[in-house]
């Protein structure tokens, strides 16, 4: 399988296929990846690489994590997972949290973003159309991952992550390198009035991310909206890379909630300091 992307690369190791960002591959003190549908052992509507423990067999999902980690070069024991529900709480992770949400019980709910400045603590967040955002502070060497669906986007979870990294790690936004996506993109992300109103209320240049379609429907570009939020926080535009792979348009490779009608598996983003 080939992809047509200027910003991401598709890797294949055995049956496992995963994506990385060209811009993040250049940073030598991190390792990152984004999973695809391919290379796991889940069956039925979650065939085959499903990385969510909800509504699937625990042993199969655990095996999927093992296979993914072996293929993409992560330490299974170092994983720390989010507990997403479309809010904006950012969890500060240390080695004490290793295993949470993967092979240890979740200890808190409502965690849509993770940050750390410790090596060998691998952050893991979940997606199937919602927008992933990767954060790397290239000066102070700390990282973050956010799950930014439309609710997270209009609640500015991206800004919350930048603030949390500044408060905890003294991050200057000018030193951040960020990557946004893969997510459902403006070609496919249609919303109604109520949703669009939240995007109009942000006070950003919404002519670039809300596109009226008839009287009551809108196409929304969540990636561009998140880019503007990051720039408004002081992240340099040239340090932001955006995925050009729409999850719905590429639903043979990527899990898409809308392409599957919701009966689907889930992808994960992985990010660790080496
Ligand atoms: Zn699309």
Instruction: Identify whether 191 is part of a domain.
Output: no
pLDDT of amino acid 2: 87
Q: List beta partners, residue 179.
A: 134, 241
**Is the distance from CB of 131 to CB of 222 less than 8 angstroms?**
yes
Instruction: Identify whether 234 is part of a domain.
Output: no
CA of 251 to the centre of ligand 1 (A): 9
pLDDT of amino acid 23: 98
Instruction: Identify whether 3 is part of a domain.
Output: no
CA of 183 to the centre of ligand 1 (A): 9
Structure confidence by residue, pLDDT tens digits, 241-267 = 999 999 999 999 999 999 999 999 999
Structure confidence by residue, pLDDT tens digits, 171-208 = 999 999 999 999 999 999 999 999 999 999 999 999 99
pLDDT of amino acid 18: 98
Percent of the chain with pLDDT over 70: 100
> In terms of residue numbers, what domain contains 22?
8-170+177-184+240-273
For residue 203, the tally of other CB atoms under 10 A from its CB is 7
pTM of the prediction? 0.99
Strand 8-13: give its sheet, edge to edge.
8-13, 16-21, 30-35, 267-273, 122-127, 79-81
Instruction: Identify whether 195 is part of a domain.
Output: no
CA of 228 to the centre of ligand 1 (A): 20
From the list 79, 151, 75, 81, the residue with the least C-alpha distance to 113 is 81
Averaged pLDDT, 159-167: 98
CA of 100 to the centre of ligand 1 (A): 33
**What is the domain count for the chain?**
1
pLDDT of amino acid 1: 80
User: Checking DSSP bridges between strand 113-116 and strand 90-92, what pairing results, if any?
Assistant: parallel
CA of 6 to the centre of ligand 1 (A): 16
3-state secondary structure 212-229: EECCCEEEECHHHHHHHH
Per-residue pLDDT band for 64 (boundaries 50, 70, 90) equals very high
Q: What angle do CA 245, 43, 81 make, to 5 degrees?
A: 60
CATH classification of the domain holding 129:
3.60.140.10
Please tell me whether residue 160 adopts helix, strand or coil conformation: helix
């Amino acid at each position: 399988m080939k992809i047509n992307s200027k910003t991401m690369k598709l890797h294949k190791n055995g049956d496992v296929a995963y994506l990385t960002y060209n811009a993040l591959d250049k940073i030598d003190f991190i390792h990152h990846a984004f999973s695809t549908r391919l290379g796991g052992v889940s069956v039925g509507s979650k065939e085959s690489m499903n990385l969510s423990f909800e509504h699937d067999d625990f042993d199969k999902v655990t095996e999927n994590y093992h296979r993914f980690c072996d293929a993409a070069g992560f330490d299974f024991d170092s994983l720390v997972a989010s507990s997403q529900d479309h809010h904006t709480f950012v969890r500060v992770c240390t080695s004490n949290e290793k295993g949470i949400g993967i092979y240890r019980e979740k200890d808190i709910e409502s965690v849509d973003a993770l940050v750390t400045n410790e090596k060998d603590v691998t952050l893991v967040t979940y997606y199937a159309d919602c927008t992933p955002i990767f954060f790397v502070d290239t000066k102070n060497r700390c990282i973050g991952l956010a799950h930014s669906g439309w609710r997270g986007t209009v609640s500015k979870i991206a800004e919350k992550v930048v603030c949390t990294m500044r408060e905890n790690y003294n991050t200057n936004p000018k030193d951040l390198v960020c990557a946004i996506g893969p997510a459902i993109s403006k070609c496919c992300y249609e919303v109604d009035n109520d949703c669009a109103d939240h995007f109009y209320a942000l006070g950003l240049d919404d002519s670039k991310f809300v596109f009226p379609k008839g009287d009551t429907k809108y196409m929304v570009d969540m990636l561009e909206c998140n880019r503007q939020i990051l720039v408004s926080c002081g992240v340099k535009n040239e340090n932001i890379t955006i995925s050009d792979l729409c999850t719905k348009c590429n639903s043979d490779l990527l899990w898409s909630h809308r392409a599957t009608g919701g009966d689907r598996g889930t992808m994960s983003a992985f990010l660790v300091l080496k």
